[in-house]
Amino acid sequence: MASSGDTITLTTAQAIVRYLAAQFIEIDGVKTRLCGGGFGIFGHGNVTCLGEALYDYQEQLPLYRGQNEQGMGFAAAAYAKAQLRRRFMFCTASAGPGTANLLTASALAHANRLPMLMLCGDTFITRLPDPVLQQLEHFGDPTFGVNDAFKAVTRFWDRITHPAQIIQSLPAALNTMLDPADCGPVFIGLPQDVQGWAYEYPARFFDEKLHRIRRQSADADEISDAAALLTRAKRPMIIAGGGVQYSGAVAQLTAFAEATGIPVVETIAGRANLLDTHPLNIGPLGVTGSNSANAIAEQADVILSVGSRLQDFTTGSWTAFSQDAKIIGLNAARHDAAKHMSMTVVGDAKLGLSALQKAMGSYSSPQSWTKEAQSERIKWAGYVEKNTRLGNGPASYAQAIGVVNALCDPRDRVVAAAGGLPAEVTANWRTLDIGTVDVEFGFSCMGYEIAGGWGARIAQSETEPDQDTIIFTGDGSYLLMNSDIYSSVLTQKKMIVLVLDNGGFAVINKLQNNMGAESFNNLIADTPTATHQVGVDFEAHAKAMGALAETVSSPEGLADAFKRAKSVDRTYVISMKVDPYEGWTKEGHTWWEVGTPHVSQKPKTRAAHEDVERARPKQRKGV
């Protein structure tokens, strides 16, 4: 590094790291570094130049050594979610398969609108040594490589072909990650030669900068139109999505609901917007929802959707609402605000809810409607109490959820992802405190649980170090990705991991059976090529990675084990078998569209298809 007055001579890699270290954000009046650090696995494509640069900034930008690049990406996404998108982590991977391993994680961050910065190796821009190790050659386009695949799963993509380009590219990347309307992952390809090239950068490029998240007020006419529609409503309903928390609008949502008496239902991403005990919390909505929320959704005449992208599990593939219901989309992103011909209110949820409340004056939802919604919720609470009760049938996900719910601290963070657990957690978890539930269902990605738990724990240790991160995972997800148990032990980021073993991919087996097919290739016992049936010793496996672990045989035993896990300071894994067929939450589901065979020789398959099609007339057509 050399300095000459108004310029500083740095390599491209050194300049990137120095710039990131100089970026700060104001959160609740406190200045903190915008980038919380990074996750990295080094290879020939990033170790010599980017690795050299990161070495000098270990304190400002701590680098966590990953075990798998996909897991690193999951951890970065979970960190950003826990930080309410106000801070991010970077991931660095080598050229070739290391970078390709990040594709799934980038898609997850993209679907969930989460900031994540990927700094990945690329082939040589000069092409003099081509073809190099791990390079994919496309005969008709020498510029095309595996890194181009990230264009489909990022909000901002760039390949740095000259050191000067980062002067424009890095601010653009940060602006993308901090934009409430366009937030998502960023990919920057770093050719191996360009990483080491030197350039005289303007010294002021590295001046400290303090960022703030933009709050865009909605258009006054949109607020006025939405207020007019809501004040005419006889059966209004609020859908509270994940964007409520990202906006910091929980207090405004609560105040708006209480002032108007409008019932509130939650999406999967919006779980923990309201406490379980709040009288206007009518429960989770949709395919993995509650009878209470779905009952009022069918009757609602005006629906205010706040901070939701309205995916199919929320809308029941657009059968959860009546054909003539009017939807108002309050969202920072116009793409989400306008879905299904919604009346748009494009802007920040916090400002938008306050403006709507003011514009609606003294409006109050009809008491009979609010009481009906609350009556439905009381019935649902009774069902959940019974469903999670110990001794209610064989050991189940729901019983395990009930055990943990009763024993955890209010501020403990719960993490779950694809498989059967998102539905069971969404339906049965009783929220003890705001913003404490992370059910990854935007991309419905198995394997997120443990890696995401590690990332969430890193974030939690910065703000609430005395609280626990609790991971619910099935045996299928555990086998898919578990190595960040070792990461958590290495970094002393304690997690409590509950492995609920139902002998395979039981929830997909359930779907397979429900659609008229025989069990095939989902449960280990029904895998024709698994000629040697053997169980996995999850306890021994976790212990081999340095965690504390035990196996329990019942939900009662789980309760005792969970208390032991709470009392120690190391990652603790508890394994318990659950029934693959019995114990599923049977209530609360809306219709969900899946592809079914229109022609089959199997009577059960034909009957299932006909059953699916009988509900199709309820599906809204987007008008």
Query: Does some domain include residue 263?
Result: yes
The domain tally of the chain equals 3
Specify the DSSP class assigned to residue 145. Answer: -
Within 13 Å, how many C-alpha atoms sit on residue 19's CB side?
22
Domain boundary among 361, 380, 399: 380
Query: Does some domain include residue 202?
Result: yes
Q: Give the pLDDT of residue 4.
A: 61
Report residue 599: phi and psi, to 5°. -135, 130
3-state secondary structure 108-144: HHHHCCCCEEEEEEECCCCCCCCCCCCCCCCCCCCCC
Identity (one letter) of the amino acid at 211? Answer: H
Cis amide bond preceding 131, omega within 30: yes
Query: Does some domain include residue 599?
Result: no
The first and second tokens of residue 205, run together, are: 């490029």
Nearest to 591 by CA among 287, 285, 310, 284: 287
- Enumerate the β-bridge partners of residue 395: none
Report residue 302: phi and psi, to 5°. -135, 125
Q: Give the pLDDT of residue 3.
A: 63
- CA 216, 29, 494, 100 dihedral sign is positive
Query: Does some domain include residue 408?
Result: yes
Domain boundary among 177, 211, 245: 211
3-state SS of the chain: helix, strand, coil percent to 5? 40, 20, 40
H or E, element range at 35 = strand 35-40
Q: Give the pLDDT of residue 262.
A: 98
Domain boundary among 188, 211, 234: 211
Q: Is the pTM of this model over 0.95?
A: yes
| Whole-angstrom distance, CA of residue 438 vs CA of residue 431 | 12
Per the CB < 8 A criterion, the answer to whether 350 and 249 are in contact is yes
Is residue 332 located within the same domain as residue 252?
A: yes
Q: Give the pLDDT of residue 21.
A: 98
Is residue 131 located within the same domain as residue 241?
A: no
- Indicate the burial class of 470 (C-beta count within 10 angstroms; 0-12, 13-18, 19 or more): buried
Per the CB < 8 A criterion, the answer to whether 121 and 192 are in contact is yes
| Whole-angstrom distance, CA of residue 178 vs CA of residue 166 | 18
Measured CA distances, 299 to 320, 344, 465 (Å)? 9, 21, 44
The CB density around residue 22, as the number of other CB atoms within 10 Å, is 16
3-state secondary structure 74-86: HHHHHHHHHCCCC
Tell me the average pLDDT of the chain: 96
Radius of gyration of the chain (CA): 25
Per the CB < 8 A criterion, the answer to whether 561 and 574 are in contact is yes
Per the CB < 8 A criterion, the answer to whether 112 and 418 are in contact is no
Query: Does some domain include residue 480?
Result: yes
- The CATH number assigned to the domain holding 268 equals 3.40.50.1220
Is residue 366 located within the same domain as residue 398?
A: no
Q: Give the pLDDT of residue 284.
A: 98
Q: Give the pLDDT of residue 136.
A: 87
Is residue 412 located within the same domain as residue 286?
A: no
H or E, element range at 185 = strand 185-191
Is residue 431 located within the same domain as residue 563?
A: yes
Is residue 75 located within the same domain as residue 181?
A: yes
For the chain, report the end-to-end CA distance as a whole number of angstroms.
60
Is residue 224 located within the same domain as residue 334?
A: yes
Is residue 202 located within the same domain as residue 226?
A: no
Tens of pLDDT, residue by residue over 535-552, are: 999 999 999 999 999 999
Nearest to 593 by CA among 578, 579, 567, 611: 611
Nearest to 156 by CA among 211, 207, 110, 202: 110
Identify the domain containing residue 143 by its residue range: 2-211
Low-confidence ranges of the chain (pLDDT < 50): none
Tens of pLDDT, residue by residue over 363-402, are: 999 999 999 999 999 999 999 999 999 999 999 999 999 9
Q: CB-based contacts of 546: which residues, under 8 Å, 6+ apart?
A: 485, 486, 489, 490, 570, 571
Pairing relationship of beta strands 156-159 and 185-191 according to DSSP bridges: parallel
Is residue 242 located within the same domain as residue 179?
A: no
| Whole-angstrom distance, CA of residue 419 vs CA of residue 479 | 13
Q: CB-based contacts of 476: which residues, under 8 Å, 6+ apart?
A: 419, 446, 504, 505, 506
What does the angle CA 240 – CA 245 – CA 246 come to, to the nearest 5 degrees?
120
The CB density around residue 560, as the number of other CB atoms within 10 Å, is 15
- The CATH number assigned to the domain holding 112 equals 3.40.50.970
| Whole-angstrom distance, CA of residue 3 vs CA of residue 587 | 68
| Whole-angstrom distance, CA of residue 263 vs CA of residue 55 | 53
Is residue 225 located within the same domain as residue 205?
A: no
Query: Does some domain include residue 204?
Result: yes
Query: Does some domain include residue 415?
Result: yes
Is residue 376 located within the same domain as residue 396?
A: no
Q: Give the pLDDT of residue 135.
A: 86
Query: Does some domain include residue 613?
Result: no
Is residue 361 located within the same domain as residue 397?
A: no
